[in-house]
Chains A and B, each alone.
Chain A
Amino acid sequence: MSKKTIVSFKLNGTATDVMVEPRELLIHTLREKLSITGPHIGCETSHCGTCTVDLDGISVKSCTVLTVQCEGAEMLTIEGFAKGGVLHPLQEAFTQEHGLQCGYCTPGMITRAYRLLQENPSPTEEEIRFWMAGNLCRCTGYQNIVKAIQYAAAKMRGESVTSSHPLMAEISA
């Protein structure tokens, strides 16, 4: 076992110190030491994207980042999205467009979509599909995830938005 070191970074706006071995992976530090269990572990080979966090303005798979590499970093996880009880437009969008089912990929998916919309506030469907391809979902078939990201993008641009699944569409009184 190698000597542990203290690593300091800003996590969802809060100054945070942790003591880790150099080999400790960021996903384990977040989940085991910092009670950040939104990001999940799905493959450990950097394919699935469930462990995605935002690190210094880029989306990373935290299973393939060492915690010691995060000294001085600014980190955003799904836990940092809602502010003062108000959901982030992406969070609202995933519910309104039914962009999730089992929920396991959702934190990584939303975190990745956040960075995408920072870089491209009006992505086309093709751009969304291309730039979301680092996050696997086994439940939704992505179609409603694409819609959710479009919904959130519109809302973040200040446009009015409605769910494409009206509550009463198939009900006649």
Chain B
Amino acid sequence: MDQNVENHGRLEKLEGIGCSRKRREDPRFIQGKGNYVDDIKLPGMLFAVMVRSPYAHAKIKSIDTSKAKAYPGVHAVLTADDLKPLKLHWMPTLAGDVQAVLADGYVSFQNQEVAFVVADDRYVAADAAELVEVDYEELPAVVDPFKALLPDAPVIRPDLDGKSVGAHGARKHHNHIFNWQIGDKDKTDRAFTDAEVTVKQDMHYPRVHPCPLETCGSLASYDAIRGDLTVWITSQAPHVVRTVVGLLSSIPESKIRIISPDIGGGFGNKVGVYPGYVCSIVASIVLGRPVKWIESRSENLTTTAFARDYWMTGELAADRNGKIKALRVNVTADHGAFDACADPTKWPAGMFHVCTGSYDIPNAHVSVDGVYTNKFPGGVAYRCSFRVTEAVYLVERMIDVLAQKLNIDKAEIRKRNFIKYEQFPYLTPLGLEFDSGNYLPALEKVLEAVDYTALRAEQAQKRADPNCPTLMGIGITTFTEIVGAGPSKSCDILGIGMFDSCEIRVHPDGSAIARMGTISQGQGHQTTYAQIIASESGIAASQIAVEEGDTSTAPYGLGTYGSRSTPVAGAAVARASRKIREKARKIAAHLLEVAPDDLEFDLDQFKVKGDPSKAKTMKEIAWAAYNNVPEGMEMGLEAVDYYDPPNFTFPFGAYLCVVDVNKKTGETKVRRFYALDDCGTRINPMIIEGQIHGGLTEGFAVAMGQELPYDEQGNVLGGTLMDYFLPTSVETPHWETDFTVTPSPHHPIGAKGVAESPHVGSIPCFSSAMVDAFAHLGTTHFNMPYNSYRVWQHAQSLGL
């Protein structure tokens, strides 16, 4: 038989890296047998709802729970006073602050948690929640971070009175959280002084919410006799939850089992630990019965973790040819009432310092101020790594602004500033080492695919025609992401390094089980991890079971967010597989009576070099591992790997978007969106494409409609799916995808992570296109979201 045909057949059977393997998760989901938190029912289970504050800022004068407690079917009504003896009325946040579990004398955002009603079922709980009587004294609220820093601004956090130092250094005002700076300020300022050209642009990245289709929830079950606590929870990081619960409750982690079952989308919303989770645990301990808490959609949109809300000012210094000399950024970050950002401990603005982007910028300085306001806490990474969407937005917008000022084409100015292929690894002025990249070919491939020249010609023609009812805009982004947090020297959560892990056991029949510290929320880990193991160990993917999400069986891991599963856990998977393979080599050598070095690995077997007729398959080796191993070797075929990455990975892409804007109504049609992504080695092209479609759609939603605005009284507006924009199949554009492959040099299989690039990269691309539609009229920027109302207002301001 032709060797290629035979190899092809074996590769097909292996379903390893590069195959569009159909998902192993699907059979349960397509038959309604997924198992999400709210699907789980335990004997004696109770249901709880949260009573929340209607005010954004108020003193609580009294809470009367007597009527609610007397309502038939009610088992408990918890308030802060009930949690105080357990010291659980406050909890630590991931950002070094504290957050009220239940309001302790005052509320500081609308819908803040005030009381927790536990009843027989959700009907009784809803009835009883109405009977909890809370007497509030309303206080003036502040929802604007700039106003919050005025000298006479209301004090949002009386519990911090007199604390002039927070978790990230000095606080300069009673509503100030931190100032964080990075880069060489003096050199950057000098570059601006000496520059031939400078540009400056203010921009707001509005407060948005990840809004997964499944809301957050938990089911806690405490067994008083065994002293075991089991919690089913919508968490992207179950091990971290276990550590937090251990810290809070003083129950040893060995007695706590956190299970993230199937999760109906996360997108960053399910990284944090929320008051409802804590209350369900306390209620279960107090009542000795399982207690379930599931938030409503409005609770989800208005209490559990917003994203963004960054007020950014960017400045670029350049020469007349558009070569950038320096970047300066000042950010006022609205963190809401409690600093509950999900960021690595040392970095209160996450990885915002990736903001020099794909460009060779010699000098940069960034300053970020975190501010309290009477808004709900959060600051999560919505389908991105920590604050990376904000950073990429900033630099991609700024390079457009510079191009406009110098009258240089947006594609051309990028080409003039790209970090060149031969400059990698590239040390940025803000201290990050970009491991790899190849930006120019990616952009050129996109420009050619869409016939950029023709698009610009069409645009020029339309601009020249006063009767043209639409404005045509062309957007470009050439972004670099930073994902795969991260090296423990710079990244930790609550002091735990951001490694990840994999454990593989090969059974005597040659099948295997692998367990990971991550947890899929739709990414298809069960499918793709098995592909890595297949390629690395020679065990067919169909023979590999992948388990995640149960802290009692999985090795410790930091979870799935920030596109870290492939860069970090994926590396652990590859390395654990290689450990299996190396042990298998020794067993094979023993069986074939040759030295291990005399063997070569060939897809699914070890062959004797020079005599391929002598070979042992992985299946044969697995059997031997349990009965016939070399002298002195332990039986069994297992491996564990804890992977602390040496660096982040840096996926990149080049996107192009064409919009047509109705001058008279502001309606915008996305005519074309072409997305080229480079995520290094491609594990499953089908899943990659799916992740990109999803990320682009979420980016479209953010750019074109998502926003959680507040009125002056601190009422959150738009907290239902009537107002909060989740595009349907009608609104969602058609996506075109493409790719290049630039493997990561430090990742065991060269993979970089992909799911977040399309979100990070598309949002500035939409902005680039929308601004471009008005650029000939002098517009350099206007803020998202580009709903027709806002676009019309902008058109009106230009006299259209």
- Measured CB to CB, the residues of A under 8 A from B are 1, 21, 23-24, 28, 31-32, 36-45, 47-48, 50, 77-79, 81-82, 87, 91, 94-96, 98, 100-107, 110, 128-130, 132-146, 163, 165-171, 173
Contact = CB atoms under 8 A, between A and B. Distances in A.
Given A40-B38, A45-B720, A98-B690, A169 B297 contact: no
Contacts of A168: 8, 11-12, 19-20
B685 A105 contact: no
9 contacts: A37-B39, A38-B32, A38-B33, A45-B297, A48-B721, A106-B29, A133-B730, A135-B729, A171-B18
B34 A145 contact: no
Given A38-B32, A94-B30, A104-B36, A173 B4 contact: yes
B122 interface: yes
Interface in B486-521: 521
A87 B32 CA distance: 12
B667 interface: no
Contacts of B734: 143
B686 A91 contact: no
B296 interface: yes
A94 B11 CA distance: 25
Interface string B718-754: 0011100010111010110000000000000000000
A103 B28 contact: yes
Leading 3 A-B pairs by shortest Cβ distance = A38-B32, A103-B29, A104-B264
Contact of A133 (B39, B72, B698, B728): B728
Contacts of B33: 38
B228 interface: no
Contacts of A104: 34, 36, 212-214, 264-265
A143 B121 CA distance: 39
Given A102-B521, A104-B34, A167-B21, A136 B213 contact: yes
Nearest to A21: B123
B11 A173 contact: yes
Given A140-B693, A142-B732, A144-B693, A50 B213 contact: yes
Contacts of B23: 95, 98, 100
Interface string B259-277: 0001111010000000000
Nearest to A106: B29
Interface residues of B, number: 70
A129 to B, nearest CB: 4
A129 B696 CA distance: 17
Contacts of B255: none
B297 to A, nearest CB: 4
B729 A133 contact: yes
Contacts of B356: none
A165 to B, nearest CB: 4
A103 B34 contact: yes
Contacts of A45: 297, 720-722
Given A32-B121, A141-B694, A132 B30 contact: no
Contacts of B343: none
B211 interface: yes
Contact of B30 (A48, A95, A169): A95
Given A102-B262, A144-B689, 8 more contacts: A21-B123, A77-B32, A98-B23, A103-B26, A105-B213, A136-B728, A142-B728, A173-B7
Interface of A is mostly: loop
A169 B20 CA distance: 7
Interface in B665-690: 682, 685-687, 689-690
Contacts of B726: 47-48, 136, 138
B264 A141 contact: no
A32 B142 CA distance: 42
B730 A130 contact: yes
B679 to A, nearest CB: 13
A110 B30 contact: yes
Interface in B1-59: 4-5, 7-8, 11-12, 15, 18-23, 25-34, 36, 38-39, 41
Contacts of A134: 728
A167 B20 CA distance: 4
B522 interface: yes
Contacts of A21: 123
Contacts of B730: 129-130, 133
B697 A142 contact: yes
A48 to B, nearest CB: 6
B163 to A, nearest CB: 39
Contacts of A24: 123
A43 to B, nearest CB: 4
Nearest to A144: B690
Among A40, A42, A78, A87, chain B packs the most CB atoms within 10 A around the CB of A42
A4 B33 CA distance: 30
B659 to A, nearest CB: 17
Contacts of A96: 22
A173 B8 contact: yes
Contact of B696 (A141, A165, A173): A141
B213 A171 contact: no
A110 B122 CA distance: 28
Nearest to B3: A173
B729 A145 contact: yes
B105 interface: no
Contacts of A39: 32
Given A39-B32, A40-B38, A141-B694, A102 B735 contact: no
B523 interface: yes
Contact of B735 (A40, A128, A135, A143): A143
A107 B686 CA distance: 21
A68 B400 CA distance: 59
Interface in B296-314: 296-297
A143 to B, nearest CB: 5
B18 A170 contact: yes
A107 B264 CA distance: 12
B20 A166 contact: yes
B524 interface: yes
A63 to B, nearest CB: 10
B293 to A, nearest CB: 14
Nearest to A128: B729
Given A47-B721, A136-B728, A142-B732, A102 B213 contact: yes
Name the residue among B12, B262, B267, B522 with the largest chain A CB count within 10 angstroms. B522
A129 B733 CA distance: 11
Nearest to B685: A170
A40 B729 contact: no
A57 to B, nearest CB: 20
A140 B297 contact: no
Nearest to B696: A141
Nearest to A92: B30
A1 B145 CA distance: 47
A150 to B, nearest CB: 13
A27 to B, nearest CB: 11
B65 to A, nearest CB: 20
A139 B720 CA distance: 19
A100 B11 contact: no
A111 B22 CA distance: 21
A43 B301 CA distance: 10
Contacts of B729: 128-130, 132-133, 135, 137, 142, 145-146
Contact of A91 (B12, B21, B31, B732): B31
Nearest to A164: B686
Contact of B296 (A44, A137, A140, A165): A44
Contacts of A38: 31-34
Interface centre among B21, B265, B729, B732 (most CB of A within 10 A): B729
Given A103-B522, A130-B730, A140 B694 contact: yes
A23 B524 CA distance: 39
B523 A101 contact: yes
Contacts of A143: 693, 732, 734-735
